[in-house]
Amino acid sequence: MISFKHKIRIFWLVLLIIILLFLLWQRVSPAGEWTCRQNFSADSLSLVTDSLSGRSCLSRATPVERVISGDNGPLIVLADPVYFSVFTPRAFSRAELEIIYRPHLSSSTPIVEAGFLADSKLWRYDLQPVYNLWLEEGLKDWSSLSMSNIHLFQRQKKFDEIFDFLDAWQNDSASICATPRCLAVYNFDLSAFPPAINLEQLNHASESLFFPYTIRGAHQFYFYLSSSTLNLSGELIDRNEGKDKDPLELSVYNGHKLVASIKLEDNGFEFEGSGDRSESRLFQINKEDLTPGLYRLDLRSSDDVMIKNLHLNTQYLSALHKIWLESTDPVQLVTDAPYVQVKALDPTSLQMLNFDDKFLNIEEIYRQYEVKGEGADWYNIDLSRGGVILENNGVFALNKESLLNPDYPRLDRSLGISAQFDYILADYELAQKEHNNYLSSRLDFSTSNFYREKGRYNLILSIPGLKLDSAASGYLEIKNIKVRFYGNSLWFKIRNWLNL
């Protein structure tokens, strides 16, 4: 007969085995699912329960000065952006992100987006909309059509079906309005449609462009070829400040089609981390039998790589969204966006920026400044030297003659519901109403190629324009974040391995 003491020991042994098996199940995730959840308004008991179930796997929000986090929540986001890391026991192919939140935003901070780091080289996040103030509340006076999550807003109603508008726009946009830029988009892919400029009206007086400024890190450029030949050249310099290898990849796309590429491997790895800059290395791409038209150049590299003396046989070359200037000489550029954000990276780069006769004093390094212009087709940017990163939602070019932007205007905080727009097209799921004026949004991601390091995905929450030093910009309350990952089950992998 088993004694009471032995029964107690057996009970604790069985309980320990159950706990270990449960933790092993959670760690391996054999069912092909994994849920990571953080309830910022939960009491301590529910948080302990979540931890035991393996769901307390969301890191603290960083930088910490951009958030307020109390014991009983919610999480208050005060500035953009905010980062999290999400632990998973293995890689997954799909993720559903659910956020329950309460926005306190304005026309200067109308958009909330979230996403995962997709490319660590370009530091590119796959972002999807969480909340858009314009689409939720700002277009109530417009005529609207909806088809699933596709929405068409018309200042004056002309179309009864979204399909009719898309067909008319693709085949004869000039008959709808005078300029393609009368259409603004949000989260909608129009790559299969005519570009937002008339390529036939481009002036081809010159087919040679020399970019005189040294740039640093990954960049994307639009350019236009008026002939069937591409001649591209430049020089690479490795700063050797980091300890990792610094290859450079150049890829040329026509639409989504890759037409040319080269890769320069790091040939001086023994000097990495020394801080001694490498000698210049020449690179070039010469390609014939191309179709005259619009192209995109992608430069993929780490921040250690500098590019100088970039030369193309085109008149039109524009950096997309960002340009990191390393030149010590004065810089003159133009942009088509009505604002620019600037960040200085070195004390010697603190200076006065002239944005179309609006002056901005850059007084601190690593602080992001912003200056806005007034309605114009393009804006001048003057700097006494480089050492800064310029960013906006448009393009940067050497002058207005070389400026090229085929993208449609994006409905965001810089443009808003401008009088120039007659139509707005959006792929957007309206937020669902919850208790106490909270809203919820669900986003779906394909995570197969997302960046994952040390068992963690990188998650960003972005509210462009939200700043600590601007009380008028508002804030965001977050009650709950839940990420549910999906992938192949362990049984599926065993069957596949056994070829059953």
207-402: CATH, from 1.20.1250.20, 1.20.1260.10, 2.60.120.380, 1.10.760.10: 2.60.120.380
Q: Is 193 exposed, middle or buried (0-12, 13-18, 19+ CB in 10 A)?
A: middle
pLDDT for residue 53: 43
Same CATH topology for 31-132+431-491 and 207-402: the answer is yes
* Rounded Cα distance, 162 and 123, in Å: 35
Provide CB contacts within 8 A for 224, sequence distance 6+.
199, 202, 293, 294, 295, 314, 315, 316, 404
* Rounded Cα distance, 319 and 307, in Å: 13
pLDDT for residue 495: 55
The domain spans of the chain are: 31-132+431-491, 207-402
Provide CB contacts within 8 A for 206, sequence distance 6+.
315
Provide CB contacts within 8 A for 200, sequence distance 6+.
none
pLDDT for residue 51: 37
pLDDT for residue 204: 77
Question: pLDDT in tens for each of the 500 residues of the chain?
Answer: 566 666 677 666 766 666 655 555 555 556 578 889 898 875 433 433 333 344 458 999 999 999 998 767 799 999 989 999 999 888 899 999 999 999 999 888 899 999 999 887 667 889 999 999 999 988 888 999 999 899 999 999 999 999 999 999 988 877 888 777 889 999 998 888 888 888 888 877 778 899 999 999 999 999 999 999 999 999 999 888 877 788 899 999 998 899 999 999 887 666 676 777 888 899 999 999 999 999 999 999 988 899 999 999 999 999 999 999 998 899 999 999 989 999 999 899 999 999 999 999 999 999 889 998 887 789 999 999 999 999 998 999 999 999 999 999 888 887 766 667 899 999 999 999 999 999 999 999 999 889 998 889 999 999 998 988 765 678 999 999 999 999 865 555 555 555 55
* Rounded Cα distance, 301 and 217, in Å: 6
Q: Could you give the C-alpha distances from 105 to 134, 296, 371, in angstroms and in order?
A: 11, 35, 20
CATH 2.60.120.260 fits 31-132+431-491, yes or no: yes
Any idea what DSSP says for residue 495?
H
Chain position carrying tokens 């006769």 = 357
